[in-house]
Amino acid sequence: VPNFYFREFRSPFLTDQLATMQRRYLIGLAIATGCSAAGAATLQVRASASLHKGQGAIMEVRVNGARVGTSTVTSPSTTAFRYEVPALAPGSKVDVVFTNDASSDGEDRNLFVESISEGSTVVLAASPAAVFDRGAGPNAFDGVDVLPGQSGLYWAGALRVTWPQPAPLPSASVNEATRFLLQASFGPRPGEAEALANSSSPARWIDAQLALPARPDFVSHLQAKFAQGASFRPGGTQYDLAWLPQRFWATATNSPDQLRKRMAWALHQIWVVSLVQSDLFPHGRAYAQYLDTLNRHALGNYRQLMEDVALSPAMGIFLSHIRNRKEDPVSGRMPDENFARELMQLFTIGLYELKPDGSLRLDASGQPIETYNNADVMALAKVFTGYSWAFPDGQLNEERFRWHEPDYKANPDPGIDLLPMKAYPGQSSTAAVTLFAGKPNALTLPANTAQATRLKLALDTLFNHPNVGPFVARQLIQKFTTSNPSPAYVQRVAAVFANNGRGTRGDLGATVRAILLDAEARQTSALSGASPTGAPALATKLRDPVLRVAHWLRAFEAKSPSGEFRMNYEHDALTQPVYFPASVFSYYRPAYSPPGTALARFDAVAPELQIVNESTAAQWVNRAESMAGNGLGWNGKSNDAVADYTPLVALLNSGNAMKLVQRLNQQLFAGRMSVKLQNTVAQAMGSVSGNDAASQLYRARLAVFLALSSPEFTVQP
């Protein structure tokens, strides 16, 4: 709907002009709805003026030398003027002529032209496609006294435009490739979507990603820091947990194994270990090991992930099962239940029994069926007793179990924090344990079962619980493609989790492949809101602040002057500080539905909206201004994540500002930027008046700012 045309028709027109204006509006409507008369086009000039003796500026518009209209510009604020013109081929000459320059008694009549546009072409007055030929009458066209194109016409003369090439919409195939990469990675860099569309396919891209090996990105980063000396180790003045989120940003921006990194980021939000737990502060390298574990198993097997994260010292500290003491009948002491509970509730099976499509199973009275009760939590807690830091086997005594910590200043560095926790002899509970009594998946561990066997069987039992597939599939789908998957979509992905086609359960590479290649994820035709219920019909989700920043970093090939992307705590204000979620419940909950919205009425969820509020929404706009400007982060001398907008300036220099807008439309919106926002951004660039290189860069920044701060951008297409 051409709201745009409505908005431009402001009141200062005289009544005898109204009929003409209405006619022009109808033409505008016809064009906007794709029914234009053959050969006819509407040229729009956005202009304002300063007056002399109450008289406005006379603006004459010519196409290829023939006059198409004359207007008197009287308003000091920019107004749109429209003219019916023949179709404009590239190379056509469009002149905007200022004919009544005058100045006296401190009054100066000038004409200011922001932009001249038709269809998908927007020419800014201050652009390489325009020159200003000064002179009155025929001297306006004599090629003498010619200045570069500029917005302010302070003398009689003609702003002469050589009509540039149009700005085609991004192609459907490139849009689809972009959309795929926005889902599957931290966003496409320039050219990547084109390459995928032209010479690859989503399936081949995934296969290539699955073949890339995992690398110990985080441990190696901290190792390199530690190697700089004692002051860089825990307790030293240079030691800084911010190294961990910084490494996240550096690898998200530059690492080739994008699918693995995006999956590890998703898994971090399920298998949460948060640096808000102050007991983790001295153990930054143990945390790095947890992150590398997520990376290592991100496309591997869920069962191995379960075990390696369960035994990672970082998780042990966060959910307090490191040094967890066995029960003591004398004092009544019971094992710590923290990890046991969250392992079931959040990491594997959830609270209620699920059907293969993720919907609730109900009992005979229509009630959900609990997967476990508190007795199961207390039983599983016993399995996670007796673990602590992996000191050498001969030293695993009670004193070490309860009190000793790794010595990060030791030389050579024993790296105890990099090893899985060990079960200390005599410290683990040996009591008989029954899990899920009375259920088909019940497990009984007789008294005195070996600790390694207890752990293995307990984890096997959880891993083989029929809930795991749908429980994990739904959450991963929400992280990659859509907040509201259909039950059938969940079921298809859960089936691949149950069996990767080669008889293996828990293959995360196969699972994410199924998520990304599913017909529901790849669906492109239906528009949101088009379904009969009004529920979101297209597989989309909101971008959380981290994904918004990541997509920006890659779309504009951001560089870090220090190489370390020192964006420390500036994401706090957006309430998504990387690796510092508030609790084991992560940054936001998968079932959050914003009250009072259409989403809630349709029983749809929008998890990312849980951290959008009056403050964070305003903060995001301010952050977007920095991103469009000098960048984010600080390295002591300059911003430390700086986007490269020179490709955008090059598009502006083509003469058609809409080319820049279409690049943004493709890179950031996968072609789904609304026409209204496209036009607003293109024309807003005309409000920058200078015609030097700095002004062109300003225009690019302004366009990026408007795009990044728009509510449309918060949607991952």
Partner 1 sequence: MTASRRHFLRQAAALSAFGAGRATPLALSLAGIGSLAQAANTTGYRALVCLYLNGGSDSHNWVVPTDSTNYASYSKARGDLAWSRNNLQAMSQTRQAAGRSFGMPLELSPLHAHYQAGKAAVLANVGPLVRPISRLDYDNGKGLPPKLFSHNDQTSAWQSLQPEGAPSGWGGRMGDILMAGNGQPVFTAVSASGNAVFLAGKQAVQYQVSSDGPVSVRALGAGWVFGSNQMSSVLRGTLTGSGNDHYSKAYASVMRRSLDTTATLQAALMQTSVAPLSTRPTAFGASGNITLSNDGLAKQLRMVAQLIAAGQRLGMSRQVFMVSMGGFDTHSNQMRDQPNQMARVAMSIDFFLNAINAQGLGNNVTLFTASEFGRTLVSNGDGSDHGWGSHQFVAGGAVRGREIYGTFPVSAIGSPDDVGSGRLLPSTSVTQMAGSLAGWMGLSSTEQAYVLPNLGNFSAGPLGFI
Interacting positions 318-337 with partner 1 (CB under 8 A): 319-320, 323-325, 328, 331-337
Provide, rounded to whole angstroms, the least separation between the CB of residue 103 and partner 1: 23
- Total residues contacting partner 1 by CB under 8 A comes to 96
Among 504, 533, 615, 646, binds partner 1 (CB under 8 A): 615
**In this structure, what token pair is assigned to residue 712?**
């449309």
Give the integer Cα–Cα distance in Å for 208 and 199: 13
Q: Binding to partner 1 by residue 583, rule CB under 8 A?
A: yes
- Structural element, H or E, at residue 86: strand 79-86
Give the integer Cα–Cα distance in Å for 109 and 132: 17
Give the integer Cα–Cα distance in Å for 255 and 627: 21
Give the integer Cα–Cα distance in Å for 486 and 299: 24
Provide, rounded to whole angstroms, the least separation between the CB of residue 198 and partner 1: 28
Residue 255 or 320 with smaller CB distance to partner 1:
320
Non-local CB neighbours of 391 within 8 Å, separated by 6+ positions? 400, 404, 416, 422
**Which parts of 628-657 interact with partner 1 (CB under 8 A)?**
628-629
**In this structure, what token pair is assigned to residue 376?**
């199961």
Among 42, 78, 451, 467, binds partner 1 (CB under 8 A): 78
Among 57, 273, 612, 643, binds partner 1 (CB under 8 A): 612
SS3 label, residue 1: coil
Give the integer Cα–Cα distance in Å for 273 and 197: 38
Q: Binding to partner 1 by residue 148, rule CB under 8 A?
A: no
Provide, rounded to whole angstroms, the least separation between the CB of residue 598 and partner 1: 5
SS3 label, residue 599: helix
Output the furthest CA–CA distance in the chain (Å, rounded). Answer: 108
Give the integer Cα–Cα distance in Å for 449 and 168: 70
**Which parts of 225-284 interact with partner 1 (CB under 8 A)?**
276, 279
- Considering only 411-419, 451-459, 516-524, 577-585, which stretch makes contact with partner 1 by CB under 8 A? 577-585
Q: Binding to partner 1 by residue 680, rule CB under 8 A?
A: yes
**Which parts of 503-542 interact with partner 1 (CB under 8 A)?**
527-529, 534-536, 538, 540-542
Provide, rounded to whole angstroms, the least separation between the CB of residue 614 and partner 1: 4
Residue 258 or 371 with smaller CB distance to partner 1:
371
**Which parts of 554-573 interact with partner 1 (CB under 8 A)?**
573
Residue 37 or 276 with smaller CB distance to partner 1:
276
Among 450, 591, 630, 646, binds partner 1 (CB under 8 A): 591
Provide, rounded to whole angstroms, the least separation between the CB of residue 537 and partner 1: 9
Among 625, 634, 647, 649, binds partner 1 (CB under 8 A): 625
Residue 26 or 598 with smaller CB distance to partner 1:
598
Provide, rounded to whole angstroms, the least separation between the CB of residue 489 and partner 1: 18
**Which parts of 697-716 interact with partner 1 (CB under 8 A)?**
698-699, 701-702, 705-706, 709-712, 714-715
Residue 247 or 341 with smaller CB distance to partner 1:
341
Burial class of 193 by CB neighbour count within 10 A (0 to 12, 13 to 18, 19+): buried
Among 72, 173, 589, 646, binds partner 1 (CB under 8 A): 589
* β 107-118/121-124 pair status: antiparallel
Give the integer Cα–Cα distance in Å for 388 and 322: 5
Residue 246 or 427 with smaller CB distance to partner 1:
427
Among 418, 462, 609, 652, binds partner 1 (CB under 8 A): 609
The number of residues making up the chain comes to 717
Provide, rounded to whole angstroms, the least separation between the CB of residue 382 and partner 1: 11
**Which parts of 368-397 interact with partner 1 (CB under 8 A)?**
370, 374, 377
Q: Binding to partner 1 by residue 486, rule CB under 8 A?
A: no
- Considering only 11-19, 187-195, 416-424, 619-627, which stretch makes contact with partner 1 by CB under 8 A? 619-627
Q: Binding to partner 1 by residue 315, rule CB under 8 A?
A: no
**Which parts of 339-358 interact with partner 1 (CB under 8 A)?**
341, 345, 351
**In this structure, what token pair is assigned to residue 394?**
């001969």
Q: What is the residue-wise DSSP string for 275-331?
A: TTSGGGGGGHHHHHHHHHHHHHHTTSBHHHHHHHHHT-HHHHHHTT-TTPPPPBTTT
Among 85, 266, 547, 677, binds partner 1 (CB under 8 A): 677
Provide, rounded to whole angstroms, the least separation between the CB of residue 210 and partner 1: 30
Alpha helices, H only, 384-507: 398-403, 451-463, 468-480, 487-498
Residue 39 or 595 with smaller CB distance to partner 1:
595
Q: Binding to partner 1 by residue 599, rule CB under 8 A?
A: yes
Type of residue at 562: S
Q: What are the Cα distances from residue 650, in Å, to 187, 462, 496, 644, 677?
A: 22, 56, 46, 12, 21
Q: Binding to partner 1 by residue 464, rule CB under 8 A?
A: no
Alpha helices, H only, 191-271: 192-199, 202-210, 217-226, 243-254, 258-268
Burial class of 115 by CB neighbour count within 10 A (0 to 12, 13 to 18, 19+): buried
Residue 195 or 600 with smaller CB distance to partner 1:
600
Residue 386 or 406 with smaller CB distance to partner 1:
386
Q: Binding to partner 1 by residue 487, rule CB under 8 A?
A: no
Among 127, 619, 662, 678, binds partner 1 (CB under 8 A): 619
Q: Binding to partner 1 by residue 575, rule CB under 8 A?
A: yes
Residue 440 or 595 with smaller CB distance to partner 1:
595
Give the integer Cα–Cα distance in Å for 468 and 153: 69
Q: Which of 377, 505, 356, 382 is nearest to 436 (CA)?
A: 377
Cα angle for residues 275, 281, 287 (degrees, 5° grid):
60
Among 183, 295, 461, 483, binds partner 1 (CB under 8 A): 483
Burial 425-460 (b: 16+ CB within 10 A, else e): eebbbbbebebbeeeeeebebeeebebeebbebbbe
Give the integer Cα–Cα distance in Å for 634 and 641: 8
Residue 22 or 583 with smaller CB distance to partner 1:
583
Residue carrying structure tokens 């008294």? 447
Residue 107 or 328 with smaller CB distance to partner 1:
328
Provide, rounded to whole angstroms, the least separation between the CB of residue 281 and partner 1: 13
Among 166, 487, 594, 647, binds partner 1 (CB under 8 A): 594
Give the integer Cα–Cα distance in Å for 216 and 288: 9
Residue 80 or 606 with smaller CB distance to partner 1:
606
